[in-house]
């Protein structure tokens, strides 16, 4: 029997990750000549699927622990980041995917400038961040549930579309389109799972990873929470059906922002 890597077991039951993966992959034609950089690879969950679109990929993260876990999926071209500058030559990449990364940085503007620097002229950048704005009351609920920003590894809750658009333009990146997803029911269920893991399953004593500690972050942690995961897998179809109620609250602002942009010069 083929053993499924623990990261893929997680993503197969993550409604939010599957939503954003579908949108990103649908915008990436297969291109074997592409040179691409993934910023914030975490444990390689998204990078594994990005590689299937072809090309030469580099996966980067600040945490060595993340990169060691990611190696089982993406195999090679893993780079540990140090400091604010990206260790790549100017105009090295056709594509940069910055997924769930900006909100973890102290100096996010410098990161945007660095992305523009390493992109080739007319190169594409894709950003995924939490979406903030009026009506996003679940961020306040998160605090009431004891889920502090540092548990997520966040320096800020996220960005609204207008704010991020202006920041991209200042860095020399032209926003071409955006999509806001993960509305009320999807985000509420995600919050519930985070709450259960943090307070009852994982209960990490020390939070020292860039991307926080709201789910299993290693194969060992996944094995230790296997009973919870099996239970969740059993009720997952009901969770999936519940997220379809998002269609009834299209007025909800949504909690995940995806932006597609291009280098302007």
Mean pLDDT of the chain: 93
What's residue 9's pLDDT? Answer: 94
**Is 207's pLDDT higher than 80?**
no
Q: Residues 203-219: what's their mean pLDDT? A: 79
Q: Give 27-68 pLDDT, tens digit per residue.
A: 999 999 999 999 999 999 999 999 999 999 999 999 999 999
The beta strand positions in the chain, using DSSP E, are: 35-39, 56-61, 78-80, 93-99, 119-130, 173-181, 256-263
What is the model's pLDDT at position 253? 84
Residue 89: strand, helix, or coil: coil
Provide, rounded to the nearest whole percent, the portion of the chain with pLDDT above 90.
85
DSSP string, 208-252: -STT-SSS--SHHHHHHTHHHHHHHHHHHHHHHHHHGGGGGGTTS
Confidence of residue 251 (pLDDT cuts 50, 70, 90): confident
Instruction: Return the higher-pLDDT residue of 203 and 119.
Output: 119
The residue extents of the domains of the chain are 6-263
Domain 6-263, CATH among 3.40.50.300, 3.90.1150.10, 3.40.50.150, 3.40.50.10310:
3.40.50.150
Residues facing residue 212 across a β-bridge: none
Mean local confidence (pLDDT), 90-114: 96
The C-alpha atoms of residue 198 and residue 214 are separated, in whole angstroms, by 6
| Beta strands at 78-80 and 56-61: parallel, antiparallel or unpaired | parallel
pLDDT, residue 205, reads 56
Q: Indicate the SS3 state at residue 60.
A: strand
Dihedral class, residue 153 (left if φ above 0, else alpha if ψ from -120 to 50, else beta): left
Average pLDDT of 149-161? 93
pLDDT of residue 130: 96
Stretch 133-153: mean pLDDT? 90
pTM: 0.95
Do the Cβ atoms of 35 and 94 come closer than 8 Å? yes
């Amino acid at each position: 029997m083929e053993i499924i890597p623990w990261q893929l077991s997680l993503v197969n039951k993550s409604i939010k990750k599957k939503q954003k993966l579908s949108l990103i992959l649908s915008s990436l034609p297969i291109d074997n000549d592409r040179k691409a950089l993934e910023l914030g690879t975490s444990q390689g969950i998204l990078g594994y699927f990005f590689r299937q679109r072809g090309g030469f990929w580099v996966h980067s993260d600040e945490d060595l622990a993340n990169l060691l876990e990611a190696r089982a999926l993406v195999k090679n071209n893993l780079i540990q980041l140090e400091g604010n500058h990206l260790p790549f030559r100017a105009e090295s990449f056709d594509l940069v995917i910055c997924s769930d990364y900006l909100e973890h940085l102290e100096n996010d503007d410098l990161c945007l400038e660095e992305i523009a620097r390493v992109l080739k002229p007319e190169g594409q950048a894709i950003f995924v961040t939490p979406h903030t704005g009026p009506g996003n009351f679940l961020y306040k609920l998160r605090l009431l549930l004891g889920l502090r920003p540092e548990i997520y590894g966040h320096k800020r809750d996220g960005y609204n579309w207008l704010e991020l658009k202006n920041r991209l333009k200042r860095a020399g990146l032209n926003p071409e389109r955006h999509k806001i997803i993960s509305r009320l029911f999807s985000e509420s269920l995600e919050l519930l799972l985070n709450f259960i893991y943090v307070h009852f399953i994982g209960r990490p004593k020390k939070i020292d990873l860039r991307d926080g500690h709201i789910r299993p972050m290693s194969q060992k942690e996944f094995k230790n929470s296997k009973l919870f995961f099996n239970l969740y897998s059993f009720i997952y179809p009901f969770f999936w059906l519940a997220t379809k109620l998002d269609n009834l609250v299209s007025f909800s602002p949504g909690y995940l922002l995806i932006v597609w942009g291009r280098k302007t010069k």
